[in-house]
Amino acid sequence: MEQDDLIITAAQAQLELSAEEEGRLAAAVTEMLDYFSKMSEVDVDNLAPTTHALVTDNALRTDTPNQNNNQKELVDRAPDNENNFIVIPNVL
């Protein structure tokens, strides 16, 4: 990365860099770009696409309807209820 490009990018990111910080950032960006260029050399044409290396199956349960009609029992468990509604204290 050219020094001018680095300064422009830092300004766009609203970073104020000292001369020492510019030098360290330039070295880090150069190292990162070198790594990216090495990654582009790897042949990935025959690799299957993945979203995550460790996920092998769906971690969610199946969505099945539940026919529980225990609404009254649940409302009765509340400390205070009235006309099949749970009564709570006013917040405001």
Any idea where the domains of the chain sit in the sequence?
3-39
Whether 67 has a pLDDT exceeding 90, the answer reads no
4 three-state secondary structure: helix
Please check whether residue 13 is in contact with residue 21, taking contact to mean a CB–CB distance below 8 angstroms: no
H/E element, 24: helix 19-39
Predicted local confidence at residue 79, as pLDDT: 92
Please check whether residue 75 is in contact with residue 84, taking contact to mean a CB–CB distance below 8 angstroms: yes
Predicted local confidence at residue 71, as pLDDT: 86
Instruction: Report pTM.
Output: 0.44
